Amino acid sequence: MTSQPLGPADYSKTPRYAGPPTFGLLPRIDEVEAERPGEKIDVKVIGIPFDAGVSYRPGARFGPAHIRQSSKLLRPYNQATNVHPFTWQQVADCGDLGVNPFNIEEAIATVEANADAMRADGAKLLTLGGDHTLALPNLRSLHKTHGKIAVLHFDAHLDTWDTYFGAPYTHGTPFRRASEEGLIDMTASMHIGIRGPLYGQKDLEDDEVLGFQIIRSDDYQFTSVADVVARMRKRLGDAPVYLSVDIDVLDPAAAPGTGTPEAGGMTSRELLNSIRGLQGLNVVGAEIVEVAPAYDHAEVTGLAAAHVGYEVLSLWAAENNGVTAPSGPAGDALGA
Dist CA 214 CA 158 (whole Å)? 9
On whether the CB atoms of residues 257 and 296 are closer than 8 A, the answer is yes
Q: What is the pLDDT of residues 100-158, one digit of tens each?
A: 999 999 999 999 999 999 999 999 999 999 999 999 999 999 999 999 999 999 999 99
Q: Residue 287: beta bridge partners?
A: 127, 244
CA 330 to chain centre: 19
Q: Residue 149: beta bridge partners?
A: 184
Q: At a CB cut-off of 8 Å and minimum separation 6, what does 218 contact? A: 195, 264
Dist CA 44 CA 196 (whole Å)? 34
Q: What is the pLDDT of residues 7-41, one digit of tens each?
A: 999 888 889 999 899 999 999 999 999 999 999 99
Dist CA 85 CA 315 (whole Å)? 8
Amino acid at 53: G
Percent helix, percent strand, percent coil in the chain, to nearest 5: 40, 15, 45
How many C-beta atoms surround the C-beta of residue 47 within 10 A? 23
Q: At a CB cut-off of 8 Å and minimum separation 6, what does 240 contact? A: 142, 146, 147, 149, 150, 282, 284
On whether the CB atoms of residues 325 and 103 are closer than 8 A, the answer is no
Q: Which whole-number Å values give the CA distances from 111 to 4, 185, 208, in the listed order?
A: 31, 22, 28
How many C-beta atoms surround the C-beta of residue 125 within 10 A? 20
pLDDT digit string (tens) for the chain, length 336 residues: 468 999 999 888 889 999 899 999 999 999 999 999 999 999 999 999 999 999 999 999 999 999 999 999 999 999 999 999 999 999 999 999 999 999 999 999 999 999 999 999 999 999 999 999 999 999 999 999 999 999 999 999 999 999 999 999 999 999 999 999 999 999 999 999 999 999 999 999 999 999 999 999 999 999 999 999 999 999 999 999 999 999 999 999 999 999 999 999 999 999 999 999 999 999 999 999 999 999 999 999 999 999 999 999 999 999 999 988 887 777 777 776
On whether the CB atoms of residues 274 and 224 are closer than 8 A, the answer is no
Cα–Cα nearest to 111, from 176, 70, 59, 52: 52
What is the C-alpha R_g of the chain?
A: 18
**pLDDT score recorded for residue 335:** 73
Query: What is the pTM for the complete model shown?
Result: 0.96
Q: Which helix (H) or strand (E) holds 135?
A: helix 135-146
Give the Cα-Cα-Cα angle 140, 61, 20 (nearest 5 degrees).
100
Cα–Cα nearest to 31, from 19, 18, 16, 41: 41
The DSSP result for 87-132, as a single string, is TSS-EEEEEE----TT-HHHHHHHHHHHHHHHHTTS-EEEEEES-G
Amino acid at 309: G
**pLDDT score recorded for residue 323:** 87
Burial (Cβ within 10 Å: 0-12, 13-18, ≥19) of residue 114: buried
Tell me if residue 239 falls in helix, strand or coil: coil
Angle in degrees, 0-180, between the axes of helices 63-70 and 300-320, rounded to the nearest 10: 80
Torsion of CA 40, 277, 96, 84, to 10 degrees: -50
